[in-house]
Amino acid sequence: MTRRSQVWSLSALLLGACGGGGSDDTSGSTASATDTDDSSGNATDDSTGAPTGTTTSGATTDPTGEPDPTGEPDPTGATTGTTTGETTTATSETTGDPGVELPPPDGGFDYQLGGAYDPPAGVQIVSRDRNDPPAAGLYSICYVNGFQAQPDEESFWLDDHPDLVLRDGMGDPVIDQDWDEMLLDTSTPEKRAALAEIVGGWISGCKADGYQAIEIDNLDSYSRSQDLLTQDHNVAFMALLSAAAHAEGMAIAQKNSTEILDRAGEMGTDFAVAEECSTYDECGDYIGTYGDAVLMIEYVAEDFAAGCADYPGMSIVLRDVNLTTPGEPEYVRDAC
């Protein structure tokens, strides 16, 4: 599939490099349903094969307290920006940065990462891949794979940003075996800042396209990193992406990873997208942190039915694991 890449300006981050403070820093419970193919709807690069785009966005300081970088911007076309985002502290009710719009509580939900299609009747919230257009007139969430590289973007990362790919002791890229995706290297403030230039640009592209919110996948990449990344590394990077989203006036979701729900305040996340939380008995954990701002996706009919019974006031959808589109043999969708 073809994915667009844009560049987020880090100038404000660089100017405020010494002021950071705080703690350092998915696909679903299974890696299954979050990295499926999508349809295009945005421009791609010319003969180089690298995804491109231009954008403006805000910036923030790295929350680790370590000095931030003064490295060169990504060569795909950086722009500048100076606004900053805010972080939030989760509560037992609705959460979120006060400047952003959260998904409507108990709104009808559809999960369309495998390709955009007309939302069924009653749907108010739709999540789509960043290369697909938002659902007109509905609350639209833009899916971004922020911690790993899409397989069809390997050349973009290896040719243009080889130092941002996580590598093992032999110098080979570390691979998520389930999805054949290279992990991105969030291990230092310099690398996190460089990655935020790129992923922050994708966030700005989502805003320009008309999305209201961002869903960042593979927050738990540290668990597949051969112990080269830590939870702290990814929490710190997520905080940068939250600041980028908030600078655009967009809400941003924690995707899965119940083990770091207690760090939502550090990450600055506003709501949750939870895959298979009924299957793994985790839904109450997400609700305890994000209140009614939790969107649930189930892939097993029995678990979906249990979720509907246990959490009647929440947005829950049943989908097929490959997130296919209507008319395909595997397509499944139900809601409660």
DSSP 76-133: TT--------------SS----TTSPPPPTT-EEEEETT---PPPTTEEEEEEETTSP
pLDDT tens-digit profile of 55-106? 333 333 444 444 443 333 333 333 333 333 333 333 334 466 888 999 999 9
User: Is the per-residue pLDDT at 165 higher than 60?
Assistant: yes
Torsion of CA 71, 8, 217, 331, to 10 degrees: -140
Provide, for the chain, the percentages of residues in helix, strand and coil under a 3-state DSSP scheme, each rounded to the nearest 5.
25, 15, 55
Contact 237, 257 (CB under 8 A): no
pLDDT for position 96: 67
Contact 4, 54 (CB under 8 A): no
Q: What average pLDDT is seen over the chain?
A: 80
- Whether pTM exceeds 0.85: no
Neighbours of 296 (CB within 10 A): 28
pLDDT for position 53: 35
Q: State the average pLDDT over residues 163-173.
A: 97
pLDDT for position 95: 60
DSSP string, 49-78: --------------TT-SPPP--PPPTTT-
Q: Beginning with the edge strand found earlier in the chain, give each strand of the sheet holding 271-275 in spatial order.
A: 108-112, 123-129, 139-145, 213-217, 251-255, 271-275, 294-298, 315-319, 333-335
Of the candidates 63, 69, 68, the residue with the CA atom closest to the CA atom of residue 21: 63
User: Is the per-residue pLDDT at 41 higher than 90?
Assistant: no
pLDDT for position 97: 80
Q: Which helix (H) or strand (E) holds 334?
A: strand 333-335
User: Is the per-residue pLDDT at 187 higher than 90?
Assistant: yes
pLDDT tens-digit profile of 267-290? 999 999 999 999 999 999 999 999
- The pair of structure tokens assigned to 173 is 């890229």
User: Is the per-residue pLDDT at 319 higher than 90?
Assistant: yes
* Euclidean distance between CA atoms 84 and 11, whole angstroms: 11
* SS3 state of residue 23: coil
Q: Which residue has the tokens 């006031």?
A: 313
User: Is the per-residue pLDDT at 13 higher than 50?
Assistant: no
On the CB side of 139, CA atoms within 13 Å amount to: 23
User: Is the per-residue pLDDT at 126 higher than 60?
Assistant: yes
Count how many residues are written for the chain.
336
DSSP string, 169-221: TTSPBPEETTTTEEBB--SSHHHHHHHHHHHHHHHHHHHHHT-SEEEEE-TTG
Phi, psi for residue 112 in degrees, rounded to 5: -115, 40
Contact 183, 175 (CB under 8 A): yes
Q: State the average pLDDT over residues 238-247.
A: 98
User: Is the per-residue pLDDT at 294 higher than 90?
Assistant: yes
Q: Which residue has the tokens 């550090």?
A: 266
* Euclidean distance between CA atoms 163 and 261, whole angstroms: 30
pLDDT for position 99: 87
Q: Please measure the distance between the N-terminal and C-terminal CA atoms of the chain and give it in whole angstroms.
A: 32
